[in-house]
Chain A
């Protein structure tokens, strides 16, 4: 923690102390607070997800949901093999999701590694409405010193990233060292400056829904603007029940503090049908205020083309096929 700027920690820590009603922020204070949250019953949570998944979204509602889902995508490429060419292709797709129908909304952002931010910026320009999200903090493992994580963040922001997707230290979290996780988030938030911070909890490694709920609250307490499920590198990634736990967290946080926090499921959502189930969950769990790309995102790549295909089908009345939508950056993410 030696490299953490003192002033950051002081702001977030002071706020947290105030919030918890303690004079000194300690692991035991955080533990008491996080473990005092109501538990999540695994079976019941899965059942709720199953029930929401039976909603039948048709006609106008479906078309509306498809456009909303497209506008919520963080179009993503996060491969060791990424090149400037692949990132430019991704940006071109973001600018023109469907060349046959220019009324198709653009995704919210492209999501790339920090070193690709300049390439993306050059391709997107500054007034396209498509933001740039950069993963940082030794993504995806998060196993690096705090100095490295902060440098990673500052570099991406300096290169004009609008949003930073950080990973939490899952090792520290699982070891019960909530204070370390808290400070890291708070410090990265400070390093973000004007960029919005998404906190990746890697729920596939936290495993239990109780852990997901605690990590969500810890991330919000430390100042995260978004809570995000996964890196996409660990299975399971974004499941509906995990997203429901996070939607409950932001809803309850808002009721308590009046602050809205966004939610981003990432990884594994590939079809329009799945995406619409998530939007139903947003609507019925968090509320319609979250049905906006300022507060809800999908971290995805192949999802965009499935949404475009469905959109064409709704407008034209028949299915075209994968050969009739452009694909610049085929990816498994």
Chain B
């Protein structure tokens, strides 16, 4: 061996106790669904992992009724301190079983094990720890007297961070005293179902957490169910608009965390080596399946060539392949449908005249894969600068002045996140004030902390998750009705 070739270092699957089929988790028990079962596969190999029940309208109704009964009879009668004990217990079990969750998440989602191990699972546990602490302090968390829960919350989450999005939804809802019916995405149901086992292990009262599986129809049945008091949704802007329409005129409240087309802005005085890492983290973390991904790279024109050369040199060290290998940096695209969407938008980028470059790395024969891709010569008019690609594709644009950077960054229907790279502190503060984005990172990107609120402006949704602001979305204040 003349060069440093890293030998395969796969994480073992032996820790998993995967069942052949999974039912719905309703009222503390796994029950068969009445819909048409479907299969969940590993996107890296297309191997069938398990058969999953589909919840039809009757199953959704059973789950909502279980949640209502649990709310009325048990959960709303517990003290905050007692609710907190359950949340602490869940958090500790997540930590104890972290390797199991990480392997399962990587298998079902396709993301690299180093990310599920170092980000998804620990941050999910952190959300439960954080919200456990608020459970008996709600009057200090929000403005207004008499803080209390909504009741039964319907939650629909996406496939990009299955367990982490579950924790963002369930932890604050339970801390505030709500019960939940949660639907994971149809391509990534397994960690949610493993979480159902954790609820059993933690002796969580039956019906406080219900997990129903299925696709869009199941989600629609949940959203439209009259027994739901509040909807929390993370996913595409298209579905978010449909939800907002469907609940218009009802008593239901909603928080929606939708798409994004974030600008990651690199000034000529940026700490260049760290900025390159931040660009990569911004768009290639989780294969770019990140709503707040830094998919539009805005580079000051005076350093555009240098950034281009450094970025491409660095990208050649990204290791794409088996997501379970501990040295893999870029995993599989989550589904064939998503791969088709990425492929279509990339073709549109080329057709519109942007210059496409990719790492040229070999791709595995089976499964869904896309090479890390950089488009240069992109203008705001191009589809790849406007539409969310949700894949490992970055569109590079240039700017000349801070004002122009702000104008371009804000010139999008979205407003979820933004990044600023400069050594000049005053400019960071000025930019953060001007950017219409819910999260602005300075000299870093894609950092998540349970204490920090996350959410969007404009078509990126409304409501916040995390921190006191996120908790407030699950709390009613003022005089009781």
Say which residue of B1, B277, B443 sits within 8 Å of A48 (CB atoms). B277
Tell me if A291 is interfacial: C-beta within 8 Å of chain B. Answer: yes
Judging by beta carbons under 8 Å apart, are B118 and A43 in contact? Answer: no
Given known pairs A60-B7, A61-B4, the reply for A38 and B114 (CB within 8 Å) is no
Judging by beta carbons under 8 Å apart, are A41 and B443 in contact? Answer: yes
> Number of residue pairs across A and B with beta carbons under 8 Å?
71
Judging by beta carbons under 8 Å apart, are A44 and B277 in contact? Answer: yes
Residues of B within 8 A of A40 (CB): 271, 273-274
Judging by beta carbons under 8 Å apart, are A44 and B269 in contact? Answer: no
Residues of B within 8 A of A56 (CB): 6, 9, 326-327
Judging by beta carbons under 8 Å apart, are A65 and B4 in contact? Answer: yes
- CA gap between A48 and B7 in the complex, in Å: 21
- CA gap between A47 and B9 in the complex, in Å: 22
Residues of A within 8 A of B423 (CB): 39, 41
Nearest CB on A from B244, distance (A): 38
Judging by beta carbons under 8 Å apart, are A43 and B443 in contact? Answer: yes
Given known pairs A44-B444, A55-B327, the reply for A38 and B4 (CB within 8 Å) is no
Residue of B with least CB distance to A291: B4
Residues of B within 8 A of A288 (CB): 3-4
Residues of A within 8 A of B269 (CB): 38-39
- CA gap between A55 and B9 in the complex, in Å: 9
Tell me if B365 is interfacial: C-beta within 8 Å of chain A. Answer: no
Nearest CB on B from A206, distance (A): 17
Judging by beta carbons under 8 Å apart, are A41 and B7 in contact? Answer: no
Judging by beta carbons under 8 Å apart, are B274 and A59 in contact? Answer: no
Nearest CB on A from B315, distance (A): 12
Number of interface residues of B (CB under 8 A): 24
Nearest CB on B from A59, distance (A): 4
Judging by beta carbons under 8 Å apart, are A54 and B326 in contact? Answer: yes
Say which residue of A54, A64, A65, A291 sits within 8 Å of B118 (CB atoms). A54
The winner among A40, A56, A280, A284 for most chain B CB atoms within 10 A is A56
- CA gap between A57 and B9 in the complex, in Å: 7
Judging by beta carbons under 8 Å apart, are B274 and A41 in contact? Answer: yes
Given known pairs A48-B277, A55-B6, the reply for A38 and B272 (CB within 8 Å) is yes
The winner among B4, B8, B270, B443 for most chain A CB atoms within 10 A is B4
List which B113-131 residues lie within 8 A (CB) of chain A.
Answer: 114, 118
Residue of B with least CB distance to A38: B272
Given known pairs A38-B270, A38-B272, A248-B273, the reply for A44 and B278 (CB within 8 Å) is yes
Residue of B with least CB distance to A282: B4
Tell me if B73 is interfacial: C-beta within 8 Å of chain A. Answer: no
Residues of B within 8 A of A238 (CB): none
Nearest CB on A from B395, distance (A): 23
Residues of B within 8 A of A47 (CB): 277, 444
Tell me if B479 is interfacial: C-beta within 8 Å of chain A. Answer: no
Tell me if A29 is interfacial: C-beta within 8 Å of chain B. Answer: no
Nearest CB on B from A67, distance (A): 10
Tell me if A279 is interfacial: C-beta within 8 Å of chain B. Answer: yes
- Which residues does A use to contact B, with CB under 8 Å? 38-41, 43-45, 47-48, 54-62, 64-65, 248, 279-280, 283-284, 288, 291
Report the 6 A-B pairs with minimum CB-CB distance, sorted nearest first.
A44-B274, A56-B9, A41-B271, A56-B326, A38-B272, A41-B274
- Which residues does B use to contact A, with CB under 8 Å? 1, 3-9, 114, 118, 269-274, 277-278, 317, 326-327, 423, 443-444
A38-B273, A60-B1 are known; give 5 further A-B pairs, CB within 8 A. A39-B271, A40-B273, A44-B443, A55-B326, A288-B3
Give me 29 A-to-B residue pairs in the complex whose CB atoms sit less than 8 angstroms apart, sorted by A's number.
A38-B270, A38-B272, A38-B273, A39-B269, A39-B270, A39-B271, A40-B273, A40-B274, A41-B443, A44-B271, A44-B277, A44-B443, A47-B277, A48-B273, A56-B6, A57-B7, A57-B9, A58-B8, A58-B9, A59-B7, A60-B7, A61-B7, A62-B7, A64-B1, A279-B4, A280-B4, A283-B4, A284-B317, A291-B3
